[in-house]
Amino acid sequence: MRSRYASLAAVLLASHAYAQAPIKTLPYPQTKKVDTVTTYFGTKVADPYRWLENDQAADTKGWVQEQNKVTQNYLSQIPYRDAIRKRLETLWNYEKFGAPYKEGKYTYFTKNTGLQSQSVLYRQLGNGAPEVFLDPNAFSKDGTTSLAGLSFTKDGSLAAYSISEGGSDWRKVIVMRASDKSIVGDTLKDVKFSGTAWKGNDGFYYSSYDKPKSGSQLAGKTQIHRLMYHKLGTPQSADQLVFGGEKTPRRYVGAYLTEDERFLVISARNTTTGNELYIQDLSKPGSSIVQVVDNEKNNVGVLDNVGSKLYIETNLNAPNNRVVTVDAANPKPANWKDLIPEGKNVLNATTGGGKIFANYLKDATSLIEQYDMNGKKERSITLPSVGTAGGFSTKKGEKETYYTFTSYIYPPTIFKYDIATGKSTVWKKAGVQFDPTKFESKQVFYTSKDGTRVPMIITHKKGLALTGKNPTLLYAYGGFNSSVTPSFSTSNIVLLENGGIYAVANLRGGGEYGEKWHNAGTKLQKQNVFDDFIAAGEYLVKNNYTSKDYLAIAGGSNGGLLVGAVMAQRPDMVKVAFPAVGVMDMLRYNQFTAGAGWAYDYGTAQDSKEMFEYLYKYSPYHALKPASYPATMVTTADHDDRVVPAHSFKFASKLQETQKGSAPVLIRVETKAGHGAGRSTAQVISEQTDKWAFMFQNMGVTPYQNN
C-alpha cells in the first residue's frame, strides 16, 4: 500500500510523528438569550435563541462569524489536518463521468477531469471527438453556481437549463439553441422545485412560487405552487397559469409530458408523500385537465403510454408498488389492471427501448428485471455484484441504454446495456485509487428495541482485527420513504485505509421495505427510527467492531434530526457526532420555506396536544438538558433554503449551553452553499477534511500511522 501512494510519503511520514494533544478551544461566543415563549395546548415553551432565525440580521451574521472563528481555530490546531486534505485531493483527482444519453443527433455526458469545481457537459456526434456543450465552471468565478437541471426538446434542437447560485433551491432558467449554443429569449427567474417540460419547440411548462416579499427570501414560507407555461419569445410576465395558484392551492405541483408529447401529466400534493394525478390530452385542442386520482393517500405517476393506453406506477393497494395499465378515456383507479403486480420486494420502474425495467430493492440492494410492454418477463439482468444499479432509462427507439453500478467497495462504473441481448459492457470505469479486493462489505441484521429486524451494511479492510478500538462512523437517514442503498464514497477511503469501519443502517421511516416500513417511522411512530439507530450502535459495540470511545454518528437533513435526537436521548452512546443541515426545532420547522410539506412524516405541533407533546419530547433543540455530550461538529450553510440554518444555529447554541463535559461543540457554517447539491469540489473536500480531522482528533487516533 505504501508504494502505491509513494507520492504522499513525506506527508504520511510527517503525520506519523504527530502525538495526540488536547486542543485549546477558544471561548464560545456569548450567545444572547431572549425571553421568547410560545404556548402550545397550555404548555409554555421557551425559545431563547429564536432571534437566530433572522438570518439577515447583523447580530446573527456576527454570531456566525464568531462561531466560525472558534471552529476554524480548533480545526487549524489538528496536526494531521493538512495531510488528510492532501490525501483527499489526491484521491479525488481522477476523471469522473456521468452516464450518456441521446438528444437529437448527439450523445451527451458529463465529465470532471478530477478537481474541477463542477462537472462539464459534453456532446459527441457518432464516434467524433467530444466537444464542450455547457461548462458550469464558467457560471461563477468561485465555482459555487451549478447546473441544476436540463431538458431538451424532442428533436434536440433547444435546451432549457437551470442554474443554482450558492446552492439555493431558487433557480434561473436559460434557453439555448443546441446548434450554435446561442441564448434564446429572456432568462426566467424565481423558479423553485421544478423541472422543465417542453411542448414541441414552442415553449415549456415549469413550476414556481411567489418569492417572499418581506423578510428573508431564503427562509420565507413557500406555500402555493403554480404550474406555468412559458412560450418562447414572450416575457415571463406573460406566462400562463396551467394549474395550482389560489384557486387550486397545492404546495408542490410538477408536470411532464409522455415521450410522444400526447399527454401532459400533472402531479399535485401538499406533503412529500402521496399525490393527486391529472392528465391532459394535448392531441385534442382545447381538451380539459382530467383528474385520475383525487386524493394524496398514495404515490402515483405515469410511466409511459402506447397510444391511449397509460402505464402507471403506484403504491395504491400495493405498499411495495406495482405497474398497472388503463385507457386514458377512463383513467380512474377502478379501471386499472395489473401489468406487473406487487411483489415481496419494493419496485421502482423505468422504461426504454420499448421495455419496462423493474428495479427491485432486495434488502436495500438492486435486483433488475426486464419486461415487455405486455408485462411478460424477459430476463433478470446480471449485475457485477451486490450493490446499487441506477439508470435503465432511454427513449423508445433506442436499442441500448446505460446504467451505473456501485457499492461501498465498488467505485461507480457505467455500463452500456444491449436491450435485445441483455449484454452489459463497461463504458467507463472509475479511476479512483482504490483496490476493492482489499476491503469487504457485508450485510448484517440486528434487532431493534421492539423486536424489528433491521439491516445494516458494514464495510472495512479484509482481515481487520475487531479489537473494539476501530474508529467507526455509523450513518443513517430514516425518513421520507427514502432508501439508502450502497454507494461508493471517495471520502470514506480515508476512514477505511486507516483501519476504520463504515456502517450504514437502513432504519424505519425509509423506503427500503415499502410504504409500511416508511409509515412505521412517521408521526407518533418516529421514536422507532431513533430506537433503530441506537440499536445499530449497540450492535457494533456488542460485536466488538468498536466501542463508545471510537464510535461516531452522522446524518444529514432528516438524518441531522436523527443524530440530534439520539444525542439528546443517549449522550453516553458515542464519542463524536455530526448532525448536518438538520431539522432541529420540531415545533417550528413548518414555519419556514416548504417545511409545512414535511408534515406527513413529522406531524406538527398544531395538530393536537398529543402530537405536540410527542414532538416536544424528542425535538433536538428542546430535548437538550445539561449533560456530558459527545464531541460535536454541527454543519450547515448560509444559503440552505430547504432546512434553514436557524435550526442548526439554535441547536448549536443550546448544545454549547448544556455541554457539561470537556468535548468540543462546534458549528461549521459553509458560505455560498445550500442544502448540499451543487457544492464545488473544493467545498466538498474542505468539509470532508474537517470531518475526518475532527473525528480522529476526538478519538485519539492518528491517521496513516500504521498503514
Catalytic residues: 557, 675
Distance, CA of 553 to CA of 575 (rounded, Å): 9
**Among all chains, which residue has been given the C-alpha cell 395504491?**
316
CB atoms within 10 A of CB 662: 9
Residues 487, 406 contacting (CB under 8 angstroms) = yes
Q: How far is CA 328 from the centre of its chain?
A: 34
Residue 236 DSSP one-character state: G
What does each C-alpha distance from 661 to 401, 463, 584, 632 come to in angstroms? 55, 36, 21, 12
Q: Is 654 helix (H, G, I), strand (E, B) or coil?
A: helix
Distance, CA of 539 to CA of 582 (rounded, Å): 25
Q: Max alpha carbon distance in the chain (Å)?
A: 77
Q: Following DSSP, what letter does each residue of 447-463 receive, concatenated?
A: E-TTS-EEEEEEEEETT
Residues forming a β-bridge with 554: 475, 578
Q: Residue 13 has which C-alpha cell?
A: 511520514
Q: How far is CA 403 from the centre of its chain?
A: 19
Distance, CA of 109 to CA of 123 (rounded, Å): 6
Distance, CA of 199 to CA of 215 (rounded, Å): 36
What residue type is assigned to position 403 of the chain?
A: Y
Residues 672, 166 contacting (CB under 8 angstroms) = yes
Rg (alpha carbons) of the chain, rounded to whole number: 25
Distance, CA of 25 to CA of 19 (rounded, Å): 18
What does each C-alpha distance from 269 to 4, 36, 517, 644 come to in angstroms? 53, 34, 21, 22
Residues forming a β-bridge with 453: 447
What does each C-alpha distance from 238 to 123, 232, 242 come to in angstroms? 33, 11, 12
Residue 676 DSSP one-character state: B
Closest to 299 in 3D by CA, of 283, 282, 315: 315
